[in-house]
């Protein structure tokens, strides 16, 4: 049995998308983050960080705010030039999945990047006997997300392999213990592959994430203190599951996850982390309400960042968070919601309200 993504056109008018995006309380912070990401661009068109996978993360981040990554040019080179120059050397399924998402964000065909079929790299790593693309759950999840985004079939055994490695506390991780980072990416993969939010494994994963949230509103690579990368991963998973990261369920004495992320932004637009580029690349899509699956498909609404607020280290909560659209999928997912938990109807409703009222740790496992 295979699970296949059904293709849909992202046809919402740019003005409508811009209005909906403007309601995201963290949009200005995300735009400042993208301005910082611009400063990390290298002469080959890629971005600073831990290898080519981090350039893909930067591409997702730029696209997630509605900006075309192709407009970022350094010494005559664009991110697309970087992707084309490096695609042929990609030989790991997790990295190939990131390149697939990067290609889609850039408007390239992941099946033919200067002759390289990135989807074939992922499929070629599949072991039908184990259902595995990768030995670890993090890269297994990335492989599934990449294939779903490309519209390729995902064997049900690949999903079963992830489900079978769930730890007793509801999470996933390395070495038999759970961590929020792995749990968040696996949760996104399971939902992308078609599991409904009501599935017991999904509900147990959400329970683990709720139980592991710190009092400051964030998450850390257990048992470490909260950090922006772990928190951003979890925010994306919550959005994919249709949860509200700013709602009472995720509001702790020190604030909610979005407030925690906002409190970690620096004057230059980056976010606090052991590496600013690594941190910022991950935080920006989360602030924009985008997941790994739908960030590459964010409708383009502008070419250059235009933040309107002054950077601050103090979070400013907002009353509402406007849902953002996702790529539709088939499989066992619920008919009433998309892969990210948001629906087109919700976006339209949010945009209509805006119009009427106004005439937003474990780096080793993540460096694929």
Give the per-residue pLDDT at 176. 86
What's the rounded Cα separation, in Å, for the pair 284 and 291? 11
Around Cβ 358, how many Cβ atoms within 10 Å?
9
Give the per-residue pLDDT at 25. 62
What's the rounded Cα separation, in Å, for the pair 152 and 334? 20
* Mean pLDDT to the nearest integer, 98-117: 98
pLDDT band at 306 (very low <50, low <70, confident <90, very high): low
How would DSSP label each residue in 50-86?
Answer: SSHHHHHHHHHHHHHTTB-GGG--BTTB-HHHHHHHH
User: What share of the chain in percent tops pLDDT 90?
Assistant: 71
Is residue 330 pLDDT above 60, yes or no? no
User: What share of the chain in percent tops pLDDT 70?
Assistant: 75
* Mean pLDDT to the nearest integer, 31-51: 94
* Mean pLDDT to the nearest integer, 105-131: 98
Return the minimum-mean-pLDDT range out of 65-79, 88-102, 123-137, 215-229: 215-229
What CATH number corresponds to the domain at position 319? 1.50.10.20
Contact 266, 276 (CB under 8 A): yes
Q: Which residues make beta-bridge pairs with 154? A: 3
* Mean pLDDT to the nearest integer, 264-293: 96
What's the rounded Cα separation, in Å, for the pair 38 and 325? 25
Chain segment 218-267, per-residue pLDDT in tens: 999 867 799 999 999 999 999 999 999 999 999 999 999 999 999 999 99
Per the structure, the count of domains in the chain is 1
The verdict on pTM exceeding 0.85 is no
Per DSSP, the chain holds a count of helices (H) and strands (E) of: 15, 2
Give the per-residue pLDDT at 278. 95
Contact 107, 84 (CB under 8 A): no
Q: Which residues contact 17 (CB under 8 A, 6 or more apart)?
A: 66, 299, 301, 347, 351
The structure tokens 């006997």 sit at 129
Give the per-residue pLDDT at 26. 86
Q: Which residues make beta-bridge pairs with 41? A: 47
Give the per-residue pLDDT at 304. 54
What's the rounded Cα separation, in Å, for the pair 60 and 101? 8
Q: Which residues of 59-92 are buried (b: 16+ CB within 10 A; e: fewer)?
A: bbbbbbbbbbbbebebeebbbbbbbbbbbeebeb
Around Cβ 177, how many Cβ atoms within 10 Å?
12
Helix, strand, coil in percent for the chain, rounding step 5: 50, 5, 45
Distance spanning both ends of the chain, measured CA to CA: 28
pLDDT band at 76 (very low <50, low <70, confident <90, very high): very high
Give the per-residue pLDDT at 323. 29
Chain segment 3-18, per-residue pLDDT in tens: 443 333 333 333 334 4
Q: With residue 304 as reference, give the H or E element that holds it.
A: none
Sequence length of the chain is 368
Domain region containing 220: 2-366
Contact 280, 57 (CB under 8 A): no
Residue 345 corresponds to which tokens in the numbers above? 């109807």
What's the rounded Cα separation, in Å, for the pair 290 and 183? 17
Question: 3-class DSSP state for residue 155?
Answer: strand
């Amino acid at each position: 049995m295979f699970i296949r993504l059904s293709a849909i056109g992202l046809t919402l008018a740019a003005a409508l998308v811009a209005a909906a995006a403007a309601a995201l309380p963290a949009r200005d912070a995300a735009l400042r983050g993208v301005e910082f990401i611009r400063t990390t661009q290298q002469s080959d068109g890629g971005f600073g960080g831990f290898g080519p996978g981090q350039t893909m993360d930067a591409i997702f981040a730029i696209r997630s705010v509605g900006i075309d990554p192709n407009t970022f040019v350094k010494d005559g080179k664009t991110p697309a030039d970087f992707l084309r120059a490096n695609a042929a050397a990609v030989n790991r399924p997790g990295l190939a999945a990131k390149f697939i998402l990067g290609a889609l964000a850039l408007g390239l065909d992941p099946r033919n990047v200067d002759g390289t079929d990135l989807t074939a790299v992922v499929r070629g790593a599949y072991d039908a006997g184990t259902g595995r693309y990768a030995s670890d759950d993090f890269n297994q999840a990335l492989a599934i997300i990449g294939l779903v985004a490309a519209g390729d079939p995902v064997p049900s055994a690949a999903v079963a392999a992830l489900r079978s490695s769930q730890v007793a506390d509801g999470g996933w991780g390395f070495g038999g213990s759970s961590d929020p980072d792995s749990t968040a990416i696996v949760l996104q993969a399971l939902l992308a592959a078609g599991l409904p939010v009501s599935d017991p494994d999904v509900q147990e994963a959400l329970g683990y994430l709720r139980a592991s949230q710190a009092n400051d509103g964030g998450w850390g690579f257990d048992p470490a203190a909260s950090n922006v990368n772990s928190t951003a991963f979890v925010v994306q998973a919550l959005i994919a599951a249709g949860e509200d990261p700013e709602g009472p369920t995720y509001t702790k004495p020190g604030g909610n996850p979005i407030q925690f992320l906002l409190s970690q932004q620096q004057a230059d637009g980056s976010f606090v982390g052991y590496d600013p580029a690594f941190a910022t690349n991950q935080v920006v899509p989360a602030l924009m309400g985008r997941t790994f699956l739908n960030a590459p498909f964010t409708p383009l609404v502008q070419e250059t960042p235009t933040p309107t607020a002054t950077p601050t280290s103090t979070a400013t909560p907002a009353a509402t968070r406007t849902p953002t659209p996702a790529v539709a999928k088939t499989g066992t997912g619920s008919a009433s919601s998309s892969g990210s938990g948001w629906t087109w109807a919700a976006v339209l409703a949010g945009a209509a309200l805006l119009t009427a009222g106004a005439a937003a740790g474990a780096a080793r496992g993540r460096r694929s």
